[in-house]
Structure 1
């Protein structure tokens, strides 16, 4: 097995471990705490990340870990795992199956492997760079769809309230230019884009554990994903991201941002 193949196998073990904790708590009566940034967190978030961390500490003790709930371990390591146990905790608490567990491997600050796992529906996207198939959904290769113009695009974002003032103005310009805009969805939107059901996703204020797993999934399916300046996403990026299935749509959207 290649090194990347071994890393994929490990990432799937992490996803299985998180799913085993999150699935039984979905639509259960869980306590919800509010973190300093006013985002919600539950016992499912904390327990799922802790389970993934235990596996990584045993199997990859030299690799770094960047997790939403428990911070950084071995910062600056050449290889780092970015973990978001429940991307979309608000959706999880509300009983909506549009959240997901995000697992990414970064090498030299660049994401090379990403998993989006929806533990309730069983949907699992796996994206890798430089290998075939680049992105799979539940084991089957997927590809983005072509979209010739921004006016034909279906746009998605999790919440318009997550943008800054200037960011909201840019997003609004794009929303007025596209065919349709869908709200909600968190990481699920990027998986749907990779599978050819959406054309454009625009968001701001993401942390590395929010976006790192999404990049290989989108790129592996033939899409494009950058920051709002059109630069590739890497460790230290601003967190203002844009993903498109067709480069023509991305470029038109960047002009409006």
Structure 2
């Protein structure tokens, strides 16, 4: 429980920094991509710095992998994986669908994950005996849906282009069999899957810090997450998150041809 409590403290610290700037004045936004728009704001940096300060004081022996400040090697075998604002484009646009991601990786797999949406006040925690959420409607257990067929599935991805042209074609091939397709939720879609409202999330072009917290949360809720080849997705790349093994298998059968 010590790791769970610390993950919550990290998320609380990030929440204070992200809300300080959200829908406020200048975000100091710059793009990390000279050929496109991949924004980073003062809030991204401040939130990750706040989390790192806590870890330096509380768990100096652990490693850290963060989106903004890179890798710090530890000696304990545990690594804290931090994404201070997953969905910075949404953050800049003022939508409440971005979130803070905190995970603990043991060198083999993520063992704890937390997805926090500060503006709405929702938090999803999975791993180390936890599978819980809290938000405006109170608290409860995380339980993925029992959907087993594509025809009954609600599917999400963040960007309509998904990844490469081939990967986009793969996503669209899956959507043809689903009852509802939606876009643009970033990490919040994974929280909704763990909560039982969404059945599939399919993405590509991910970094480890984008997916490790969602993996732990969704697995604790009874779901399954792999890449498009059916292998572990914790190191990033492509991701297929599904509510049930049967639904995962149905989507994977299609996606493998596009992996």
Aligned to 2:120: 121
Aligned to 2:78: 79
**1:206 aligns to 2:206 (yes or no):** yes
Is the Cα contact below 8 Å between 2:62 and 2:74 reproduced in 1?
no
Aligned residue pairs, count: 248
1:24 Cα deviation after fit: 2.1
1:122 Cα deviation after fit: 0.7
**SS of corresponding position for 1:84:** strand
Within-5 A mapping of 1:1-257: 5-29=1-25, 30-36=27-33, 38-74=37-73, 78-129=77-128, 131=129, 134-138=130-134, 139-234=139-234, 237-257=235-255
Would the alpha carbon gap of residues 46 and 33 (structure 1) be closer, same or farther in structure 2, given more than 3 Å must change? Answer: same
Query: Structure 2: which 5+ residue stretches go unaligned?
Result: none
1:75 Cα deviation after fit: 6.3
Runs of at least 4 residues off by over 4 Å: none
**SS of corresponding position for 1:14:** helix
TM-score, normalised relative to structure 2: 0.92
Larger CA deviation: 28-37 vs 61-70: 28-37
1:31 Cα deviation after fit: 2.2
**SS of corresponding position for 1:161:** coil
1:255 Cα deviation after fit: 0.8
TM-score, normalised relative to structure 1: 0.93
Is the Cα contact below 8 Å between 1:78 and 1:109 reproduced in 2?
no
Would the alpha carbon gap of residues 77 and 162 (structure 1) be closer, same or farther in structure 2, given more than 3 Å must change? Answer: farther
**SS of corresponding position for 2:40:** strand
1:36 Cα deviation after fit: 3.5
Structure 2 distance, partners of 1:75, 1:229, is 31
